[in-house]
Amino acid sequence: MSAPSLPTVGVVVLTQGTRPADLDRGLRSILAQQGVVLDVVCVGNGWQPTGLPEGVKALGLPENLGIPAGRNRGVPEVSGEYLFFLDDDASIPDAGFLTTAIAQLRADPSIGLLQPQVVDPSGVTSPRRWIPRIRKGEAGHSSNVFSVWEGAVLLPRAVFDATGGWAEPFFYAHEGIELAWRVWNTGKRAWYAGDLIANHPVIQPTRHSYYYRLNARNRVWLARRNLPAVLIPLYVGSWTGIQLLRWWRHPVALKAWFGGWLEGWRADPGERRPMSWRTVWRMTLAGRPPIV
């Protein structure tokens, strides 16, 4: 009897070329993975990747298309039964990570997406936002989730294709919520694997000048693209209330947020794929109806 073949993984690493040391660390952490066959591409968003380790392909995009579109451009460049997305400031400390993660997916075919626990390698306390649950609990606790931290994500390629890929119009922010929702809509589950680790430094998302505007715009687009029509105002209304409670003492932030909110209603969000009511019910039973 012939030995079973190794899992094949297409890896897409996204970068703008501004963090060469971090990029090299992340790429080498991928190339160190054992028990898998890798096909790795480094996508330069507005940058032609150079100086890459041997075994890594380069795809330079002439302009920065945004994070979701950049990831999507890398997918046709790699082959593999599974797809793994890694940001250039993330890395994988365990050489058996992909083998273990794929074993989890194979052991439970109802899981269609896996996000590991995220840990700052310097020992800084990781922010609670990296645990994609309303009731955060312990970071090492695994569970169903309805959004994901996008910096290290593993999916069967067939599931990724069924979702339609990352939300290109978003440019930045909330594409991990849409991807998780669309995984649920394929009949699978998005899973937070607290027993698996990815490294990433603690950086505040508000460092981006466009954070507040895109945060609001993409909340509206998320609803318009993915929810049954009757749930759209409920979802947007609940998040509007949440932001008012969070930032009422920060009028500058709220002004930028409401500018994005208006843009979300006025601008075209791209392809609409409303989830089925069966998906709404499954998500509700699993702990989070898509209205918050």
- As given in the structure block, the two tokens for residue 235 are 């979802």
User: Does the pLDDT at position 283 exceed 60?
Assistant: yes
Radius of gyration over alpha carbons of the chain, in Å? 19
- As given in the structure block, the two tokens for residue 115 are 């996000």
Q: What number is the average pLDDT over the span 82-98? A: 98
Give the per-residue pLDDT at 3: 53
Q: What number is the average pLDDT over the span 144-153? A: 96
Give the per-residue pLDDT at 41: 98
The DSSP result for 178-225, as a single string, is HHHHHHHHTT-EEEEEEEEEEE-----GGGSTTHHHHHHHHHHHHHHH
Query: Amino acid identity, residue 174?
Result: H
Q: What's this model's pTM, rounded to 2 decimal places?
A: 0.95
CA distance 115 to 139: 12
CA distance 158 to 17: 30
What value does the mean pLDDT of the chain take? 94
CA distance 167 to 271: 9
Q: What number is the average pLDDT over the span 81-106? A: 98
Nearest one of 267, 259, 256, 258 to 239, comparing CA atoms = 258
User: Does the pLDDT at position 127 exceed 90?
Assistant: no
Q: What is the pLDDT of residues 8-20, one digit of tens each?
A: 999 999 999 999 9
Nearest one of 115, 112, 119 to 132, comparing CA atoms = 115
For the chain, give the percent of residues with pLDDT over 70.
Answer: 97
Greater pLDDT, 4 or 116 = 116
Q: What is the pLDDT of residues 204-258, one digit of tens each?
A: 765 455 889 999 999 999 999 999 999 999 999 999 999 999 888 888 889 999 9
Q: What is the pLDDT of residues 150-184, one digit of tens each?
A: 999 999 999 999 999 999 999 999 999 999 999 99
The CATH superfamily label for domain 8-203 reads Spore Coat Polysaccharide Biosynthesis Protein SpsA; Chain A (3.90.550.10)
Q: What number is the average pLDDT over the span 131-159? A: 95
Give the per-residue pLDDT at 1: 46
Nearest one of 49, 45, 189 to 105, comparing CA atoms = 189
Q: What number is the average pLDDT over the span 39-63? A: 97
Of the given ranges (31-40, 125-134, 194-203), which has the lowest mean pLDDT?
125-134
Where do the domains of the chain lie?
A: 8-203, 209-285
Tokens 């090492």 belong to residue:
140
Band (30; pLDDT cuts 50, 70, 90): very high
Greater pLDDT, 31 or 253 = 31
